[in-house]
């Protein structure tokens, strides 16, 4: 209920800004990547509208393969229900996955923060995070975050079957699963070295990479190149790892020159994420959570591509929000509630602004 309430506020703000910019909410809920996911769900990879192009305005036969199949498959499953459109099915899947993620966040918050309040505040912070608007859109973030959260719960609670299965599922949703695979695999190896949990960590080691390996391997067969998926990302969206050089240049130029509101907020959110990572380390949070958040930031900030997507791509780094949730839970209730409400409205505005007033991709 807490999660859905926060997302309802986000949708109301989106409706307000959509009307102010002569747009419709439905159009914005399936904007940008949402168009690709709904097209794939409706027509398959081979039937995507040929007028749709990559980040450089080009279209190749393999262009749709840049989008992983996990989310479109769930849309297809829901779409069989009578009277539901492809866009409607996509939004339903995202909202359902968000609720699934909220249960996991509450469980983690209670375990690490030691109170129900910390768990619920963690849900609020996640649902209201900058660019959390994609959790209500035809985007795969809600599904990926839900699977990542429950996979890490499996790691923390030493339920290796849960950790491996959810990680395998995440590997069919987004390439960010590489960070999760590394963490689950390393945690399982540590358990084996310490002679804990018998043979069960081997399940996580074997299961974790299967989803991503299957899809990346399949794309390699379709393109005739072993690294076909990564070449596709580089050619179509200039997405390649450069050690953070492009991101660093963007941050410095934004802080020293005249830039748009969205670009300025993007930089400050990136800097805030780095500060929160340091806080997580200093508070000695469980190392798999910290390592996962760090790996997500490295994959996101260490690559080039669209700088405007950086905040959205940081959304899976949810462990960064745990110290904030714990800190708020220890404050007086009026202070915690006021802070949470302000963050909800800021996050709702930023997401709605990025879809309505901002003219570039998110």
304 domain-assigned: no
312 domain-assigned: no
The predicted pLDDT at position 205 comes to: 98
Picking from 37, 25, 26, the residue whose alpha carbon sits closest to that of residue 64 is 37
233 domain-assigned: yes
Mean model confidence pLDDT for the chain: 95
Distance CA 211, CA 71 (A): 13
Residue pLDDT, tens place only, 84-103:
999 999 999 999 999 999 99
pTM confidence score: 0.96
The predicted pLDDT at position 329 comes to: 95
190 domain-assigned: yes
36 domain-assigned: yes
Q: Is pLDDT larger for residue 55 or for residue 188?
A: 188
302 domain-assigned: no
Residue pLDDT, tens place only, 109-150:
999 999 999 999 999 999 999 999 999 999 999 999 999 999
CB-CB contact of 43 with 71 (8 Å): no
Burial class (CB in 10 A: 0-12, 13-18, 19+), 225: middle
Cβ partners under 8 Å of residue 268, min gap 6? none
CB-CB contact of 92 with 84 (8 Å): yes
* Region 214-225 average pLDDT: 95
- DSSP sequence for 52-96: ---TTS---TTGGGGS-SHHHHHHHHHHTSTT--HHHHHHHHHHH
The predicted pLDDT at position 359 comes to: 86
CB-CB contact of 191 with 33 (8 Å): no
* Region 253-275 average pLDDT: 94
Distance CA 136, CA 4 (A): 10
**Domain boundaries, position 147:** 2-237+333-356
The yes-or-no verdict on residue 192 having pLDDT over 90 is: yes
Tally of domains within the chain: 1
> For residue 169, what are the β-bridge partners?
none
Distance CA 295, CA 181 (A): 10
Distance CA 277, CA 271 (A): 10
Picking from 79, 111, 73, the residue whose alpha carbon sits closest to that of residue 92 is 79
CB neighbours (10 Å) of residue 116?
12
pLDDT band, residue 239 (cuts 50/70/90):
confident
CB neighbours (10 Å) of residue 261?
11
Picking from 232, 202, 206, the residue whose alpha carbon sits closest to that of residue 219 is 232
Residue in this structure with the two tokens 């996955």, named with its chain if needed: 97
Cβ partners under 8 Å of residue 361, min gap 6? 32, 33, 55, 306, 308, 309
259 domain-assigned: no
325 domain-assigned: no
Picking from 55, 108, 102, the residue whose alpha carbon sits closest to that of residue 285 is 108
Cβ partners under 8 Å of residue 25, min gap 6? 11, 14, 15, 18
Residue in this structure with the two tokens 């689950």, named with its chain if needed: 184
Distance CA 207, CA 358 (A): 40
Distance CA 46, CA 65 (A): 9
Distance CA 347, CA 198 (A): 44
């Amino acid at each position: 209920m807490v999660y859905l309430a926060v997302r309802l506020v986000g949708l109301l703000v989106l409706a307000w800004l959509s009307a102010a910019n002569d747009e419709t909410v439905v159009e914005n809920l399936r904007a940008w990547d949402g168009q690709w996911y709904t097209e794939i769900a409706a027509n398959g990879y081979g039937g995507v509208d040929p007028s749709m192009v990559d980040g450089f305005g080009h279209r190749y036969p393999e262009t749709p393969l840049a989008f992983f199949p996990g989310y479109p498959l769930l849309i297809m499953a829901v779409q069989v229900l009578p009277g539901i459109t492809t866009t409607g099915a996509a939004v339903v899947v995202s909202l359902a996955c968000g609720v699934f993620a909220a249960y996991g966040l509450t469980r983690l918050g209670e375990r690490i923060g030691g109170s129900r309040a910390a768990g619920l505040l963690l849900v609020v912070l996640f649902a209201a995070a900058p660019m959390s608007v994609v959790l209500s859109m035809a985007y795969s973030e809600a599904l990926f975050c839900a699977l990542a959260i429950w996979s890490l719960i499996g790691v923390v609670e030493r339920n290796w079957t849960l950790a491996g299965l959810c990680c395998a599922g995440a590997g069919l949703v987004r390439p960010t699963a590489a960070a999760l695979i590394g963490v689950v695999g390393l945690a399982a190896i540590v358990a084996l070295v310490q002679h804990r949990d018998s043979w069960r960590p081997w399940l996580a080691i074997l299961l974790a990479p299967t989803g991503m390996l299957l899809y990346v391997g399949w794309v390699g067969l379709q393109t005739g190149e072993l690294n076909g998926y990564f070449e596709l990302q580089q050619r179509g969206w200039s997405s390649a790892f450069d050690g953070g050089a492009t991101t660093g240049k963007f941050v410095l130029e934004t802080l020293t020159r005249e830039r748009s509101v969205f670009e300025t907020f993007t930089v400050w959110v990136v800097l805030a994420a780095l500060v929160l990572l340091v806080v997580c380390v200093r508070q000695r949070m469980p190392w798999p959570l910290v390592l996962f958040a760090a790996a997500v930031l490295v994959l996101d900030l260490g690559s080039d591509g669209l700088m405007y997507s950086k905040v959205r791509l940081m959304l899976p780094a949810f462990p960064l929000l745990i110290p904030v949730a714990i800190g708020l839970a220890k404050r007086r209730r009026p202070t915690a509630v006021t802070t949470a409400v302000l963050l909800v409205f800021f996050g709702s505005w930023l997401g709605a602004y990025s879809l309505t007033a901002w003219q570039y991709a998110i």
